[in-house]
């Protein structure tokens, strides 16, 4: 299981390399590194991500989310057990691009940090644990709140279309974190489910409760 420092270091390095003004760019040394570690197709995927971000940078928030959601959903779903040999592993965006494999947590992490770099306020982005009724399993999705009281939009690797949570009857929300809160709460236990507490934000849960009360 990865150490929290290592996870943040890799995310930070990737962020610094990607961010450039006025356009996103990627350094040759980084391209050489990813090619050496994962091969030429991984290098192409890294370049494609930067190109996609440049195409998205001047769009509104919905446009950015559609671009990012579509890009990462092209990555094939593969379980952590098959990819990393463990039942639960939270991959960095670097690893997702390199391996061209992901499970639900990996999609969410990659989408979250990419949207953050594109200027979408992290105060609007939540990582939401839910139960998938269709697949009868725990699931993680990225949710976006235009305002604190808005019905959230769901960015998901099961259903590629970005829809309001009220149209996702196949998901039962359990609890939500902002990205920063999630990583702080997980501490050194990356990949372990964090039990709910009074301090955790549960906006989707609250919405469902209000709907049930009519």
Lowest average pLDDT, out of 145-149, 153-157, 159-163, goes to 145-149
Position 1 scores a pLDDT of 45
Position 187 scores a pLDDT of 37
Report whether 51 contacts 24 (CB < 8 A).
no
User: What is the share, in percent, of the chain residues with pLDDT greater than 90?
Assistant: 56
pLDDT for 13 beyond 70: no
Whole-angstrom CA distances from 172 to 132, 153, 203 are 7, 14, 13
pLDDT digits (tens, 9 = 90+) for 107-139: 999 999 899 999 999 999 998 888 899 999 989
Could you tell me the CATH number of the domain that includes residue 109?
3.10.620.30
pLDDT for 203 beyond 80: no
What average pLDDT score do residues 187-204 get?
A: 40
Beta bridge partners of 207: none
Position 148 scores a pLDDT of 87
Q: How many domains does the chain have?
A: 1
Give me the helix-helix angle, 104-117 and 40-56, nearest 10°: 50
Position 14 scores a pLDDT of 55
- Domain range enclosing 40: 4-213
pTM listed for this prediction: 0.78
pLDDT for 12 beyond 70: no
Task: Give 182's pLDDT tier (boundaries 50, 70, 90).
Answer: low
Helix (H) or strand (E) holding 171: strand 171-178
Backbone angles phi, psi at 70, to 5 degrees: -65, -40
CA-based R_g, the chain, Å: 17
Nearest to 153 by CA among 173, 167, 140: 167
Mean pLDDT over the full length of the chain: 80
Bin 85: left if φ > 0, else alpha if -120 < ψ < 50, else beta.
left
Q: How far apart are the first and last CA of the chain?
A: 44
pLDDT digits (tens, 9 = 90+) for 80-106: 999 999 988 888 899 999 999 999 999
Higher per-residue pLDDT: 1 or 84: 84
What average pLDDT score do residues 47-68 get?
A: 96
């Amino acid at each position: 299981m990865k150490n929290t420092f290592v996870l943040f270091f890799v995310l930070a390095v990737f962020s610094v390399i990607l961010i450039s003004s006025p356009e996103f760019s990627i350094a040759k040394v980084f391209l050489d590194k990813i090619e050496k570690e994962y091969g030429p197709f991984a290098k192409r995927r890294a370049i494609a991500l930067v190109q996609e971000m440049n195409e998205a940078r001047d769009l509104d928030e919905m446009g950015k989310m559609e671009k990012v959601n579509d890009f990462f959903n092209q990555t094939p779903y593969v379980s952590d057990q098959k990819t990393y040999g463990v039942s639960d592993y939270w991959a960095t965006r670097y690893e997702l691009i390199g391996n061209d494999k992901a499970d639900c947590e990996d999609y969410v992490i990659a989408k979250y940090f990419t949207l953050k770099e594109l200027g979408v306020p992290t105060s609007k982005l939540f990582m939401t644990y839910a139960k998938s009724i269709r697949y009868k399993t725990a699931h993680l999705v990225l949710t976006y709140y235009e305002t604190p009281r808005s019905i959230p939009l769901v960015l998901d690797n099961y259903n590629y279309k970005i829809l309001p949570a009220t149209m996702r009857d196949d998901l039962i929300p359990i609890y939500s974190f902002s990205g920063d809160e999630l990583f702080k709460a997980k501490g050194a236990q990356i990949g372990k489910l964090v039990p709910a507490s009074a301090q955790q934000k549960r906006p989707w849960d609250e919405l469902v409760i209000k709907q049930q009360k009519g």
